Structure 1
Amino acid sequence: MLDYDVEAARYDATRGGVPRAGSAARAVLALVPVRARTLLDVGCGTGLVTERLLRPGLRVFGVDASTGMTRLAAERLCSGLVLGDCRRLPFADGCLDAVSAVWLLHLLPDAAAVVAECARVLRPGGVFVATVDKDAGHDMDSDVSRLLAPFRITPAHDTALRVQTVGAEHGLRRSGEARFTGHGQGMSPARAAGKVARGGFASTLALDPEQSGALVRRLSLLPDPEVPRADPVYRLLALRKEE
């Protein structure tokens, strides 16, 4: 996994920036009930999405385990920011109306523990909103995705089936879903090759050094190496806590 304390300085610029964050925030809010008064953004990172979770009467909190990320988030979030572990959220049982986890679960082998913890802090009737099947969002029908696909790590930690199954064990039932575009995240062959060479796909691709070198060479031979392919489309799942 990436060192997010180090990654923080370049994170937003390499992850689609404001357009991508705005797209994510709008989709999250579409799944959060209008009556919700509190929302916790788990794994909030730099706060770029969190600060856009704006709605009259909605108080938003953010929590992240990276000091580098929260240092940047503190510049965006006036209050409600906590440095903490998403597996042990510093919130009481049943105290929140909504919890979001955007681009988080796919990183965590123990994603089930995070889902359980999010369920714990939700009040009855509250909603958990999370991105699921993140890697599938990148598997658009392109020459780049076809080369990467055979090396995808399966099963992913954030499949919709897994998240729903774990959620059901903690009183969460599916209540809706949404999709949004990951603006600026369409991968060019050159960018993909560079990321493979740096080990940037470590959490999503299973590659030994020989395979990595061969994949870099194959990506480098694709036409229009600097032209980004289609932007990914991400999926959000909403789970409601039983009353």
Structure 2
Amino acid sequence: MLNYDKEADAYDTLRGGEPRAEAAARAVLGLIPDRPGRLLDAACGTGIVTRRIAAARPALRVTGADLAPGMAHRATARLPGAILLADSRRLPFADATFDAVTSIWLLHLLSDAAEVRAVVAECARVLRPGGVFVTTVDKAAAHDVGSDIDAVLAPRPRRPAQDAAEAVAAHAAEHGLQPAAGACFTGLGQGRSPRSTIGDLRRGWFTVLPPGDPRVEGFAERLAALPDQDRRRPDPRFRVRSFRKLAAA
């Protein structure tokens, strides 16, 4: 996994910046009831999406939490007084504290199903009955756009997708969360070019191919042979799912 403290300063610039954040926030807001209450953005990263949610819903008291100090520092600059350091597997909040919990681009980073289950369980625990949990699913699949770059990368080793939609729904059901709705948004500015993909490979963005792995240069050589080295292929399309917590019996 990437070191997100080291990544924090360049994180937004390398991942679509404000246009992607606006698209993500719009999708999330469409799944959250528009009424006063409290919202937790778990694994809020730099707060680039969190800030937009807070600005769009002034009646919501928004809190962001992230495990990486570098990310939380960036988020605090955007939402002073609303960000804390916290592990989404062990949230420091009482049961039934929030009316909504969002978790964007987190589950795919977790190492196994047990960690995903722990995060979903915690998000469900801190939700009030009738509250909504919103999360991205199938992130890796969003980047497969049928391009020539995808064809080159097809043989690369992949780890199991911990955020597969069916698996996330199963974990949610275990903790009293029922499917509610879904949405998609475009990862604006994240279309891959051959040259940028070579850089990503060498930086370790493809997690099963760490920097220095001898296979990296083989993929890099084949990518370097593609035409239009700086032309970005289509942007990814991300999926978001929402789940509603069952009312107490």
- TM-score, normalisation: structure 2: 0.93
1:190 aligns to 2:192 (yes or no) = no
What secondary structure sits across from 1:151 in the alignment? coil
2:227 is aligned, of 223, 230, 237, to 223
Equivalence for 1:179? 184
Per-residue Cα deviation, 1:45-80 (whole angstroms, up to 9, x for no partner):
111110000213111110001111111111100322
**Contact 2:120 / 2:172 at 8 angstroms: preserved in 1?**
yes
By how many angstroms is 1:145 displaced? 1.7
**Contact 2:137 / 2:164 at 8 angstroms: preserved in 1?**
yes
Assess, with a 3 A threshold, how the Cα gap between structure 1 residues 131 and 152 changes in structure 2: closer, same or farther. farther
What secondary structure sits across from 2:242 in the alignment? strand
Per-residue Cα deviation, 1:100-139 (whole angstroms, up to 9, x for no partner):
0111110012222111110110011111100000011100
Equivalence for 1:105? 107
**Contact 1:151 / 1:207 at 8 angstroms: preserved in 2?**
no
By how many angstroms is 1:181 displaced? 0.6
Separation in 2, partners of 1:172, 1:149: 35
Identity of aligned residues (%): 52
CA-atom RMSD, angstroms? Answer: 1.6
Which one-letter code corresponds to 2:44 in the other structure? C
Correspondences of 1:80-119 after superposition (within 5 Å): 80-109=82-111, 110-119=115-124
Correspondences of 1:18-167 after superposition (within 5 Å): 18-35=18-35, 37-53=37-53, 54-109=56-111, 110-151=115-156, 153-167=158-172
Separation in 2, partners of 1:123, 1:97: 6
What secondary structure sits across from 2:200 in the alignment? helix
Assess, with a 3 A threshold, how the Cα gap between structure 1 residues 36 and 112 changes in structure 2: closer, same or farther. farther
Separation in 2, partners of 1:145, 1:208: 21
Aligned length: 242
Per-residue Cα deviation, 1:196-228 (whole angstroms, up to 9, x for no partner):
12222116x699833222111111111001111
Separation in 2, partners of 1:72, 1:185: 21
Unaligned runs of 5+ in 1: none
